[in-house]
Amino acid sequence: MSAILARGLTKKFGAFTAVNQLDLDIAPGEVVGFIGPNGAGKSTTIRLLCGLLRPSAGTAIVAGFDIARQAEAVRAHIGYMSQKFSLYADLTVRENLRFFAGLYRVPEAEFENRSAFAIDMAGLAGREDALVRTLAGGWKQRLALGCAILHRPPVLFLDEPTSGVEPQARRRFWDLIHAQAADGVTILVSTHYMDEAEYCNRIALIDAGRLVAMGSPGTLRGRHLGGALFELEGAPLGAALAALRQMAGVIDATAFGDGLHVLLRDPQDAPALPEKLRAQNITASAPRPIMPSLEDVFVQLVSHHAATP
């Protein structure tokens, strides 16, 4: 049985469709990365799955409960970290933990154990009585995760948990996510850091409310490009880009930093490229085959302009 199952999930705000006919199928224990530009519908989807928004159409089952009809049961079986930091800044670390343990009715006998675990996990040993507002970003995020898993939920929704957190803290946060997954917790985590996508078992690419692609980072890189990716330098860049896009056998060409990424239907065509460009007065280096990054896949799959950071 899926931990998260969505069929035709749609959310409209007036005339604007934030989430459009989304299908998801996530197995227990999976870590699924939700990737897409700002405004793509990541947060809205997560809020729908948490029962915080009512779907305009479609259904979803989370941890075995229907999000529209059994929202309370859903809430009891999920942990949620909203995009904005949402613990109580005027309470201490321990008071926050005690509060959420109370709301989730964590048995008194287990509270000490679980809060000790959360404090340890967040690296906050010795700072239990510090007001949360005095903590730095990474600690706050880890404490928020600690509060969200106090009741041992089988499903976790993390909405951009690492935004605004420094790189080492981000790395450490992902270790915690994987530790949870190892215990069988299903995790849907949204991020706009492409490098973080690599930490996920599977990735769901979302753009303009639609699920564009879903698969493991490896599959997405290989399958979705539908060709072989090469990198070369060309000058002038604009002319090279235009010329490449006109050529037979070229699926797509994009500017990537100072160079160009060219997607060829047949890798055999690569060596001939500089010659063909020179015929149009464009100097070009020899194409080098490269491993496509997820960013390449993303650029390929969604509109150029939405993917430009």
Which chain residues interact with other proteins by CB under 8 A?
13, 47, 50-54, 71-72, 75-76, 78, 80-82, 84-91, 95, 98-105
Pick 43 or 300: Cβ nearer other proteins? 43
Q: What is the DSSP letter of 82?
A: -
Q: Is the separation of the CB atoms in 29 and 181 below 8 Å? A: yes
Pick 7 or 98: Cβ nearer other proteins? 98
Residues 6 or more apart whose Cβ sits within 8 Å of residue 168? 138
Parallel, antiparallel, or unpaired: how do β-strands 234-235 and 228-232 relate?
Answer: unpaired
For the CB of residue 13, give the shortest distance to other proteins in the complex, in Å.
8
Pick 82 or 293: Cβ nearer other proteins? 82
For the CB of residue 291, give the shortest distance to other proteins in the complex, in Å.
39
For the CB of residue 151, give the shortest distance to other proteins in the complex, in Å.
9
The CA-based diameter of the chain, rounded to the nearest angstrom, is 79
Pick 105 or 305: Cβ nearer other proteins? 105
Beta strands across the sheet bearing 202-207: 78-81, 155-159, 186-191, 31-35, 202-207, 210-215
For the CB of residue 180, give the shortest distance to other proteins in the complex, in Å.
17
Distance (Å, rounded) from C-alpha 190 to C-alpha 161? 8
Q: Is the separation of the CB atoms in 171 and 192 below 8 Å? A: no
Pick 164 or 271: Cβ nearer other proteins? 164
For the CB of residue 148, give the shortest distance to other proteins in the complex, in Å.
8
